[in-house]
Amino acid sequence: MILKVGSRGAEVKDLQEFLEIDADGIFGPGTEKAVKQFQAENGLVADGVVGPQTLDVMGIASTDNAEKSYVTENGLLINKHYLPVGEYKEGAWNKEYLFLHHTAGWHNPYNTIDHWANDNRGAVATEFVLGGQSIKGNDNKYDGEVVQAFPEGGFGWHLGKNGSRHMHIHSVGIEVNNFGYLKNGRTYAGQLADDSQIVELNEPFRGFSEWHRYSNKQIENLRKLILHIADRDNIDVRAGLPALIKKNGAKAFEFNEDAYYGKVKGLWTHTNTRKDKFDMFPQQELLDMLVNL
């Protein structure tokens, strides 16, 4: 849970009562000022945003549910780290599509969600984020960890400006922590990749042969998460990309009009709907997992 200016609800009211200020349930300038004062007095970064560290010092529960995690029917542990209301769209929308993305960034799924909470793009998010290994090869703490960013039934604007409103609302998104393509062993931002984190494709994909490897734990827990969502939301995850892989191999990851226009309901990746995107890429282990769902 992250609370900041614009947040509303019972969690904000609890915060205000803790701070002994007017408890109207609306996080406005007065609440921000009180939070900054509390943070400064307790050796925290005084940014006025109430995240896990501030909540820990306050002793306030860090999610809007007493239960912070759950285990799926196929044995996958999912931790909750919900965005503030307003950073996703609440609802009980039925789901018809599942889209796979990667973040083009670092390996910590909690930082990914916190970044969404603190940017100014509005409700741009996916329901799930899947942690990975550091591009430097020195941190596996979050490898394969699945984190839920908002409650079931909601949605975020995760397909970009070319995605239709219907597909945004009626799809579930998964972000996999991964930097994506590499050039001469470096990420687009210049970080040097450890050799253990580099995979070279047999054929270039979208102009690149070197990529940041999806880890074994990521691929296995992605499999479990896909099957959990398929069961939960009654999505045919063998339709779409997996069916195309059986016919076309790695070329199934290219732009596809059936995906772009939402004609085929099922499992797709962002590259199927956008020619300018790189997530996800056709690593062989990922292909093998998808065709065996």
HEC string of 164-192 equals CHHHHHCEEEEEECCCCEEECCECCCCCE
Q: Higher-confidence residue: 158 or 253?
A: 253
In a domain, 170, yes or no: yes
Q: How far apart are CA 138 and CA 197, in angstroms?
A: 10
Report the relative pairing of strands 198-205 and 171-176 from DSSP bridges: unpaired
Look at residue 63 and tell me if it is in a domain.
no
Q: Are 74 and 104 in contact (CB under 8 A)?
A: no
pLDDT of residue 9: 79
pTM: 0.78
Together in a domain, 92 and 53: no
What is the rounded CA–CA span in Å between residue 129 and residue 279?
Answer: 14
Do 116 and 52 reside in the same domain of the chain?
no
| Lookup: tokens for 42 | 């307790």
> What are the pLDDT digits (tens) for 239-274?
999 999 999 999 999 999 999 999 999 999 999 999
How far apart CA 25 and CA 236 sit, in angstroms, is 41
- Name residue 9's amino acid: G
For 50, the domain range is 10-58
**CB-based contact 113:129 (threshold 8 Å):** yes
CA distance 207 to 210: 10
pLDDT reading at 60 higher than 70: no
Q: Which of 154, 146, 162 is nearest to 95 (CA)?
A: 154
Domain assignment present for residue 109? The answer is yes
pLDDT at 285 over 90: yes
Convert the pLDDT of each residue in 35-56 to its tens digit.
999 999 888 889 999 887 788 7
Based on the fold, state whether residues 105 and 30 are members of the same structural domain.
no
> Higher confidence at residue 47 or residue 66?
47
Same domain, yes or no, for 47 and 84? Answer: no
Our CA angle for 200, 177, 150, nearest 5°, is 150
Q: Above 80 in pLDDT, residue 211?
A: yes
Side-chain half-sphere exposure of 236, counting CA atoms within 13 A: 7
Q: Is residue 2 part of a domain?
A: no
Residue 51 lies inside a defined structural domain of this protein: yes
Query: Of 79, 199, 210, nearest to 133 (Cα)?
Result: 199
Contact 270, 280 (CB under 8 A): yes
Task: Return the structure tokens found at 76.
Answer: 């996958």
Lowest mean pLDDT among 107-111, 137-141, 162-166, 278-282: 162-166
Q: Are residues 259 and 278 in the same domain?
A: yes
Q: Is the dihedral of CA 148, 153, 154, 156 positive or negative?
A: positive
Within-domain flag for 30: yes
Count of domains forming the chain = 2
Question: Does 43 share its domain with 96?
Answer: no
For the purposes of burial, counting CB atoms within 10 Å of the CB of 7, is it exposed (0-12), middle (13-18) or buried (19 or more)? buried
User: 145 in a domain, yes or no?
Assistant: yes
DSSP E strands in the chain: the ranges are 69-71, 77-80, 97-102, 128-130, 146-148, 171-176, 181-182, 198-205, 208-212, 267-269
